Chain A
Amino acid sequence: MSGSAAPVLEVNGVGVSLAGRRILHDVRFRIEPGEFVGLIGSNGAGKTTLLRLILGLQAPTEGTVVFDGANLRHGVIGYLPQKVALDADLPLRARDVVALGLDGQRLGIPLPSKRRRALVDELLAAVGASEFADTRVGQLSGGQQQRVLIAHALISRPRLLLLDEPLANLDIRSAQEIVELLARVSRERGIAVLLSAHDLNPLLPVMDRIVYLADGHAVAGTTDEVVQSAVLTKLYGRQVDVLRVKGRVLVVAGDEHDHGHDE
């Protein structure tokens, strides 16, 4: 995946207004091939809207989103939506869910093929889901479901993997495992990752860069560049303190509510 000079994704001064209200304003950043980028912000900061823009599920009111130097997102993006509500009695097996990532958009009944099965098995193994490949997804734990959905998103060999709050609703250990898994997959397969979260701490060891969103405005850069009192105070438009305690970061914003809270 190296050798291509163009960034996988370029977000150029994107803005969105809905019903006269500004959701996003002049957001700009780029993601290079194989980079791990955290999209950090509190609830309502515009993270999901930004991801929907990148996915093409929503059109920007200003600015452009460019992939691989072109305007085609088809085949470039793998996506894991926020809180995929899998019914406990949904009778699809983990393996079916992964296979649907390969050719779910095609017409007709899929014919059993060795190649297809081998590819599904490979992806299940890559995310550590081989053990429960034949279990119904509804019966899996949150962390196990995330693994299966990550395999679903990866099987079409995307260049960019978008994940909307994949760590929400996971216990600390599962969240850590998912982050490690994503970092490994990103490294091994040269896939760029853009992951949204409200807490940046689980991502600190793996993030190459950070896009910090607050009230629809964004700053992007390395973690050290962005997570500073001066930078975030300017972003939020009110006093923000950044505290570093035992390798963890606490971002304390004004007197409204705090971000990047500890557990």
Chain B
Amino acid sequence: MIAFFSSGPVQLALLVGTLVAAVSALVGVFTVLRRQSFAGHALADLGAVGGSAAFLLGIPQLVGFVGAGILAAGVMELVGIKRVQGRDVATGIVFGLGLGLTALFLYLDTQRAGTSNAAISVLFGSLFAIDASVLPLVILLSAVACLIVVVFFRWFLIDSLSQDLASVRGVPVRLTGILFLVALALAVELSALTIGAVLSTALLIAPAAAALRLTRRVGLAILIAIGVGVGSTWLGILMSFESYGWSGGAHSWPVSFCIVLVAVAAYLLSGIAVPVRTLTRRRLARVL
């Protein structure tokens, strides 16, 4: 345990992991409310193109992720997110192209830049190998994402209820959609850094979905989601660290796998909580 907390990479991993999990959970609640987890997945896939190109361009991986993610968010807004969801074939082709480009860049990474771990790092994250120099950028991007959600909290809510009701109240629905896509891109690309582009939507959706099963209040759901997200990250990091001993020192489980495992377990457990609560309420009603 002491070895666990005194390790430098672990301390940095805990700090970055906490920030990223909190932002993902916060944005995730609105993603579930707005039924845009699909858009989150799209942004993660397309962000991977930038993440993998970053090695070739010699820029930090996070910059690559976020650059491509914001660009993809812009394109999705121009095409129209509703239409993206409706256009099955076009969507499939664009995603295919995105992942194809990622494959190409990852190949070139290993060939030219000689970074053989690029594929693992882009697709499955690099929480234990984060360079301390990106910490200020992680903090800045997290703050921007949180600020967007806090300032436009009610716009996101009423827009998720009905665009017509939102526009009648004078809420600019198009701007609302853009703002949310930016917050979503930031959250997804930040978790792409820690647990990878492939798994980032798990940290976005699972804590939020679990929280929304446990409470009907949006504010409380946000707090629970943040708790579940951060808790999953800590438990996942601990599990990954300890798993080295479980396997007799042969290897340790990937940290991204451990985090996602805990988050998904939390979601499944929340499903049990719902019938229990209903039962308790019924019992209470009978007594009173």
Contacts and interface: CB of A to CB of B under 8 A. Distances in A.
B165 A107 contact: no
* Interface size grouping (class) on chain A: 20 to 34
Given A91-B216, A91-B221, A105 B165 contact: no
B158 A104 contact: yes
A57 interface: yes
Contact of B168 (A55, A86, A96, A97): A55
Contacts of B133: none
Given A57-B167, A84-B164, A91-B216, A107 B157 contact: no
Contacts of A81: 162, 164-165, 168
A232 to B, nearest CB: 31
A134 B216 contact: yes
Contacts of B136: none
A90 B170 contact: no
Contacts of A103: 154
Contacts of A149: 165
A105 B158 contact: yes
Given A105-B170, A105-B171, A92 B157 contact: yes
Chain A interface, DSSP helix/strand/loop, else mixed: loop
B169 interface: yes
Interface in B141-171: 150-155, 157-158, 160-162, 164-171
A106 interface: yes
Contact of B154 (A84, A93, A97, A110): A110
B151 A79 contact: no
Nearest to A85: B162
B76 interface: no
A16 B159 CA distance: 28
Nearest to B150: A109
A193 interface: no
B174 interface: no
A136 interface: yes
Interface residues of B, number: 28
Given A90-B160, A104-B158, A136 B153 contact: no
A97 B219 CA distance: 14
Given A81-B164, A91-B33, A107 B170 contact: no
B84 interface: no
A84 B162 contact: yes
Interface string B257-284: 0000000000000000000000000000
Q: Is the interface of B mostly helix, strand, loop or mixed?
A: helix
A97 B160 CA distance: 11
A74 B168 CA distance: 9
B168 A107 contact: no
A105 B169 contact: yes
Contacts of A86: 161-162
A87 B154 contact: no
A9 to B, nearest CB: 15
Contacts of A74: 170
B218 A91 contact: yes
A77 interface: yes
Contact of B165 (A84, A109, A110, A134): A84
B235 interface: no
A108 B168 contact: no
Given A91-B216, A92-B218, A97-B161, A107 B152 contact: yes
Given A100-B157, A104-B157, A91 B167 contact: no
Interface of A: 55, 57, 74, 77, 79, 81, 84-87, 90-93, 96-97, 100-101, 103-110, 134, 136, 149, 152
Which 5 A-B pairs have CB atoms at the shortest separation, nearest pair first? Answer: A104-B158, A81-B164, A105-B169, A79-B168, A100-B158
13 contacts: A57-B164, A74-B170, A81-B164, A81-B165, A86-B162, A90-B161, A96-B218, A104-B165, A104-B166, A105-B154, A107-B153, A109-B219, A136-B216
